[in-house]
Amino acid sequence: MSSPHNLDTYYPPFANCSLSSSLSSESVDVDVMSGLSTGAILKQYLSTFPSELKIAHFNARSMRSDDKFSELLDIVSGVGLDIICITESWLNDSISDSDISILGYRVIRKDRVHGVGHGGIVIYLNNSFSYKVLASSSPSQTPSVEYLIVEIVSASSKLLLAAVYHPPRAVRAGSLDQFEEELEFFLTNYQYRFVLGDFNIDLSIASPLSAQLRNLFISLNLHILPTDTTFHRLNYDSTLDLMAVGDESSVLFTIAIFTYRVVFFFDQLFSKS
């Protein structure tokens, strides 16, 4: 395990296994480890951290089909995650909260209203937490950044969580300005601050857009957590899915499971009781 003051991506035994998944952007081979499902392995591992705040981000690329939602349930149900953020939910008002409910969690969602029915954000929040939506992106006829900024309260502690989906067609200079302005307005009120999502800007290469995104986080005093690349195609790997925190010393480590475009992290300072 890495020291919280010298943070590295930590890979538990299941992190690099190849598991077939309709949540993945590419099909992969099945490699069964000890006959356990990904969810069972996660539950076994996460149970060793009962007091830490456990947050996950998935890029689902649709929760609309029964198969994809069932697979999501298999991965996260009962494993002990406190907050689960989904980008590219692809949901609309024909799908109710009860259609995508997960036992033990309440649903917060921001569907894409206009344009192609992709995009969208869902946050699953442990039922023991209360929340308040502070801000969300405005509906737009043109591709633009989608986000939810939420206050989450547990016992005497509160945190700010921002979940972001930045569509590829919206990526351009200044496209995150509105999000940055709203986030900056609320950040100073919170000791615990977490921003995560799919930004569709590859930070593993130097470019004007990646520099702009890094500068955004620096200006807000947020620290990008190190992870392995999260998006994989033949001969091309990139880091599109990001997590940033206000206090990186509070994070025990991150876990990347690249076949699912999922990243977990564990925060040891936020009190859940």
Residue 106 within any structural domain of the chain: yes
Q: Which tens digit of pLDDT belongs to each residue from 125-184?
A: 999 999 999 999 998 777 789 999 999 998 878 999 999 999 988 999 999 999 999 999
Among residues 212, 240, 218, 217, the alpha carbon closest in space to that of 227 is found at 240
Provide the sign of the torsion angle of the four alpha carbons 135, 91, 196, 153, taken in this order: positive
Three-class DSSP category at 214:
helix
- What distance in Å separates the CA atoms of residue 167 and residue 164, rounded to the nearest whole number? 10
Q: What is the mean pLDDT of residues 105-132?
A: 91
Q: Which domain holds residue 229?
A: 38-267
Q: What are residue 151's phi and psi, to 5 degrees?
A: -90, 130
Sheet bearing 192-198, strands edge to edge: 130-136, 146-154, 157-165, 192-198, 241-245, 223-224
Residue 252 within any structural domain of the chain: yes
Q: What is the mean pLDDT of residues 249-259?
A: 67
Among residues 209, 216, 223, 204, the alpha carbon closest in space to that of 267 is found at 223
pLDDT, residue 255, reads 66
Residue 21 within any structural domain of the chain: no
Residue 26 within any structural domain of the chain: no
pLDDT band at residue 268, thresholds of 50, 70 and 90? Answer: confident
- What distance in Å separates the CA atoms of residue 260 and residue 25, rounded to the nearest whole number? 8
- What distance in Å separates the CA atoms of residue 106 and residue 153, rounded to the nearest whole number? 13
Residue 116 within any structural domain of the chain: yes
pLDDT, residue 19, reads 34
- Give the CA count within 13 Å in the CB-facing half-sphere of 246: 18
- Of the given ranges (77-86, 109-118, 156-165), which has the lowest mean pLDDT? 109-118
Q: Is the confidence at residue 26, as pLDDT, over 80?
A: no
Q: What is the mean pLDDT of residues 58-79?
A: 87
- What distance in Å separates the CA atoms of residue 269 and residue 245, rounded to the nearest whole number? 12
Q: Is the confidence at residue 21, as pLDDT, over 50?
A: no
Among residues 230, 200, 203, the alpha carbon closest in space to that of 215 is found at 203
Q: What is the mean pLDDT of residues 107-120?
A: 85
> What's the CATH number where 125 sits?
3.60.10.10
Structure tokens at 25: 């952007």
pLDDT, residue 272, reads 76
pLDDT band at residue 265, thresholds of 50, 70 and 90? Answer: low
Structure tokens at 92: 């609309």
pLDDT, residue 23, reads 40
**Cβ neighbours of residue 261 under 8 Å, at least 6 residues apart?**
23, 24, 25, 58, 59, 198, 230, 231, 241
- What distance in Å separates the CA atoms of residue 158 and residue 130, rounded to the nearest whole number? 9
pLDDT band at residue 32, thresholds of 50, 70 and 90? Answer: very low
Which is more confident, 44 or 32?
Answer: 44
Amino acid (one-letter) located at 216? L
Q: Is the confidence at residue 30, as pLDDT, over 80?
A: no
Residue 74 within any structural domain of the chain: yes
Residue 22 within any structural domain of the chain: no
- What distance in Å separates the CA atoms of residue 120 and residue 61, rounded to the nearest whole number? 10
Q: Is the confidence at residue 75, as pLDDT, over 80?
A: yes
Which is more confident, 84 or 42?
Answer: 84
pLDDT, residue 3, reads 39
Residue 251 within any structural domain of the chain: yes
Domain count, the chain: 1
Q: Which residues pair with 54 in a beta bridge?
A: 266
- Of the given ranges (70-74, 140-144, 211-215), which has the lowest mean pLDDT? 140-144
pLDDT band at residue 263, thresholds of 50, 70 and 90? Answer: low
- What distance in Å separates the CA atoms of residue 45 and residue 1, rounded to the nearest whole number? 13
pLDDT band at residue 235, thresholds of 50, 70 and 90? Answer: low
